[in-house]
Structure 1
Amino acid sequence: MFSKVYRPLCVNFFRKNWARCYYDTPDFTKNNYNIQRGNYNSLDESHISYFRNLLGDDRLVMDLSDLEKYNIDWMNHLRGNSSLVLKPKTTREVSKILTFCNENKLAVCPQGGNTSIVGGSVPVLDEIVISTERMNQILDLDHISGVLVCEAGCILQDLDNKLSEFDLMMPLTRSRQQIIRIRPDDAPRFRC
């Protein structure tokens, strides 16, 4: 069973920062569970135009092959049907995106590194994915108190590497630290 399910060592895991550890692409989540669509609108060209004006073409993902890594969970059990991924760089852009989506009744799915093993970061239907991967800056580091302030898309290993330059370390270790991004439960200020 194990050899059928997992590819040996997931060769592309570290090279591409993403791995498909299973052979088959899962069916859409909506086909496997009794999920009712909420009172949301579907994405149309006017919505895409707004996002394109706000972020530019390079921070919109609409190509089907590129969308796969955002639509399928880490364990390859769940599959959403999002046709758009947005990659904001600032909280102001996130705020504008969420305000627009709220006003236009568009469903969203926030996503960090998509390394969740329970599928919470994967769209269920056709939600717009808001990826935090471009929000990866250290905003402040107090060398005396050891308080680090960073954006939501920072990778734990990158933070630890940066802190090591100051003889500090991240007081948090997780498996897959090389690819895992900061999450809401990491938000309390750590002392490094």
Structure 2
Amino acid sequence: MSRFTVTSTALDGLVCIQRQRRGDTRGWFSRLFCADELAAAGFRQPVSQINHTQTRRSGSVRGLHFQHPPHAEDKLVSCIRGEVFDVAVDLRKESRTFLQWHAEVLSGDNMRSLLIPKGFAHGFQALSDDVELIYLHSEPYAPGAEGGLNSLDPMLAIAWPLPLADLSDRDAAHPYLTTDFGGI
């Protein structure tokens, strides 16, 4: 029996994973990851790294981050506390959805995850205080391969639902894209 419902988005390869909750009088159980079931959705490599993040203030933005090849990674992003506006941007130069973005509201209550394939940038805005996310990565973090997009880039025109409350100095320093950006 599958513990996930997989829904395609308008961006090639980017899928939304709806986790199934099984419960009784004691509470509930939900599977966060299953290699066999999620391979069909696009997560085909072993999990190399798991990260847990907390964002304190509603309106805060983290991202948009990616890793350059050969360190590009698949990510499974799940919100386990609070609520976020989770964004993926297609950076694959040969893709028909190049430089388009898609967002999903992920929350501890809605049991939704975003499976982000290699070649995408990722970021989110906290829609509530004290948000916690779990990231499963197919590749380890490689500092020399790190890249980022400016979350306020007019070329992307991401419709953040709240005014930006916090943005790290590093994320704010990412330059805007130019028309000659060739992707990754």
Which of the five TM-score ranges fits, normalised by the shorter chain? under 0.3
Q: Rg larger in 1 or in 2?
A: 1
Query: Which structure is higher in helix share?
Result: 1
Query: Which structure is higher in strand share?
Result: 2
Q: What TM-score do the two structures reach when normalised by structure 1?
A: 0.24
Q: What TM-score do the two structures reach when normalised by structure 2?
A: 0.25
